[in-house]
Amino acid sequence: MSHAQPLWRRAVAEALGTGLLVTVVIGSGIAAASLSPGDIGLQLLENAFATALGLAVLILMLGPVSGAHFNPAVSVIDWWLGQRTSSGLSLRDLAAYIPAQIGGGIAGAILANLMYGEAAVSWSTTDRSAGHLYIGETVATAGLILLIFALAWSGRAQLAPLAVGAYIGSAYWFTSSTSFANPAVTIGRAFSDTFAGIAPGSVPAFIAFQAFGAILGAALVIVLYPNAGQAADDVVTPTHTGASS
């Protein structure tokens, strides 16, 4: 497996992308709660719309550097499916991507808090511990993995910014959990006691069911898209193939 960009640069891109994604999620949630007080449906619409657009832009901006995973679940499945064909992330890549994503997510939450005059860290008090929410996270994460690898396997990874943004935007509404579908984003959202927050005590179970959803999504990829691991280098979107600067 070969990558156009050195690992340190790809890790920086993953930290920046995940961080800005969390900033978009939390920042738009704070803005929505302020602009539309008392109307939870409108707040969710505003939050989902901003997140869908923001995610698409971040994939376009940073995908050429790192592939724009911004999600430990995506990175782990990319590594796992690519092993048999020596494509996708190596174990060394994975060891750099995951801490970068988690650290970036936490920094992104702090940035959003500070932009809106909140305390840098305010632990969320929004409890999200319920069985139906765990089902929602399983469905959201499985669908995300299936979508990403379907695009890569079929040679349509260039559509990932639009498709992944659209999927997350719609999953805000069709899943009971509002589609976190991302362990790093889940951890980051615990650092903000705002509209988009999640209580720290709810985080472990959310991540566990995201992991289960990722495994389920990977199983569906194997069933529906044979040899999908051969396209792991194109997840989420192809990195730049020219000479590295």
CATH number of the structural domain 7-228: 1.20.1080.10
What's the helix, strand, coil split of the chain in %, to 5? 70, 0, 30
| Tokens found for residue 239 | 């990195």
pLDDT, tens only, 147-196:
999 999 999 999 999 999 999 999 999 999 999 999 999 999 999 999 99
Spatial neighbors of 222 by CB under 8 A, at least 6 apart, are 81, 228
pTM, two decimal places: 0.95
Task: Using CA atoms of 221, 226, 229, 232 in order, give the dihedral in degrees to the nearest 10.
Answer: -70
pLDDT, tens only, 38-61:
999 999 999 999 999 999 999 999
Please classify residue 204 by burial: count the beta carbons closer than 10 Å to its beta carbon, then call 0-12 exposed, 13-18 middle and 19+ buried: exposed
**Three-class secondary structure of residue 242 per DSSP:** coil
Confidence of residue 85 (pLDDT cuts 50, 70, 90): confident
Predicted confidence at residue 241, as pLDDT, reads 54
Rounded to 5°, the CA angle 42-44-45 comes to 65
- Give CA separation, 201 vs 9, 25, 170, in Å: 33, 20, 27
User: 243 pLDDT exceeds 50?
Assistant: no
Q: What is the mean pLDDT of residues 105-119?
A: 98
- What does DSSP assign to residue 130? -
